Amino acid sequence: MEKRDFLYEGKAKQVYTTDELDKIIIHYKDDATAFNGVKKASISNKGILNNKITELIFTKLEKKGIPTHFIKRLNERDQLCKKVTIFPIEVIIRNLIAGSMSKRLSIKEGTKPTNTIFELSYKNDDLGDPLINSDHAVALGLCTYDELDVIKNYTLKINDLLSSIFDNEGIILVDFKIEFGKTVDGDIVLADEISPDTCRFWEKGTHKKLDKDRFRRDLGSVEEAYIEILERISK
Ligand code: TMP
Ligand code: ASP
């Protein structure tokens, strides 16, 4: 399958049409941004690493019954996916408090809440992806309550599966962001990517950061952290 027309460019990926109307090709770039595009850089080989990491994770999730948009990896930077209409919602799970929740509510990073936190943000760069609740999402016409139920059920199952996959490799899944889309057949599927760009991974014991926080916080060794994640889940 080959790329046809350029469709869309995001901060880390490009999307192309193919000869088949219901399939697209996603191209993974090395570009990295943070703070809503304010901080920009290129992380060498990030596109290659995230393409492979997403392939491995989506394949594992599919095997456990989570429907995804992923069809197959085509080469180092491209993957063939089902065409979906993305819900403009960032779905976030927090197993430990970190990042924006830590800042916003002044809670020490690494604090373990008694419950699992399910969070929604409105995917809107002009507004800075604001935190919203389910009533806001429905009022804004981003999804229906029924769709949100499906999304939440899949998300909690994805959290269980991913937490266990990473736990087995000595990594704590602190939090992550995922996106869902609707296929031309009307099915809700996991879309976008799951990678160190979209998750917080801490090494068990040391709490060494193995994710995009190394870039956001200028900690260095960013590519090495992504390689480490790929190596651990490739075993
Ligand atoms: P946050 O603590 O900054 O809200 O991030 C929560 C999770 O979402 C974290 O794993 C990083 C991920 N994330 C993205 O994938 N994209 C984004 O634009 C942001 C802000 C966070
Ligand atoms: N991807 C986000 C941006 O630049 C931020 C992040 O991942 O922290 O807008």
| Contact (CB, 8 A) for 26 and 15 | yes
Among all chains, which residue has been given the structure tokens 């990594």? 171
User: What's the confidence (pLDDT) of residue 1?
Assistant: 85
> Cα of 210 to ligand 1 centre, how many Å?
14
Alpha-carbon distance of 13 to 77, in angstroms, equals 10
Q: Which two tokens stand for residue 112?
A: 């373990």
CB hemisphere CA count around 116 (13 angstroms): 16
User: What's the confidence (pLDDT) of residue 15?
Assistant: 98
- Partner residues linked to 72 by β-bridges: 80
Per-residue pLDDT tens digits for 138-149 = 999 999 999 999
Mean pLDDT of the region 52-64: 98
Mean pLDDT of the region 113-124: 98
Q: Which two tokens stand for residue 64?
A: 């456990």
Per-residue pLDDT tens digits for 5-44 = 999 999 999 999 999 999 999 999 999 999 999 999 999 9
User: What's the confidence (pLDDT) of residue 145?
Assistant: 98
Mean pLDDT of the region 198-218: 98
pLDDT at 57 over 90: yes
Alpha-carbon distance of 208 to 195, in angstroms, equals 17
Name which residue sits closest to atom 17 of ligand 1, judged by CA. 198
Name which residue sits closest to atom 20 of ligand 1, judged by CA. 35
Classify residue 135 by burial, with Cβ atoms within 10 Å: 0-12, 13-18, 19+.
exposed
> Cα of 89 to ligand 2 centre, how many Å?
14
For the Cβ of 15 lying below 6 angstroms from any atom of ligand 2, the answer is no
Query: pTM of the full predicted structure?
Result: 0.98
pLDDT at 3 over 90: yes
Of 6, 24, 5, 16, the C-alpha closest to 191 is 24
For the Cβ of 217 lying below 6 angstroms from any atom of ligand 2, the answer is no
Name which residue sits closest to atom 6 of ligand 2, judged by CA. 34
Alpha-carbon distance of 149 to 144, in angstroms, equals 9
Alpha-carbon distance of 49 to 84, in angstroms, equals 23
pLDDT at 81 over 90: yes
Q: Which ligand is nearest the CA of 36, by number?
A: 2
Judged by DSSP in three states, 195 sits in coil
pLDDT at 235 over 90: no
Q: Which atom of ligand 2 is nearest to the CA of 12?
A: 1
pLDDT at 204 over 90: yes
For the Cβ of 37 lying below 6 angstroms from any atom of ligand 2, the answer is yes
Of 218, 221, 214, 217, the C-alpha closest to 197 is 214
Residue 121 identity: S
Arithmetic mean of pLDDT over the chain: 98
Alpha-carbon distance of 223 to 202, in angstroms, equals 15
pLDDT level of residue 183 (50, 70, 90 thresholds): very high
pLDDT at 118 over 90: yes
Crossing angle of helices 46-63 and 222-234, in 10° steps, is: 30
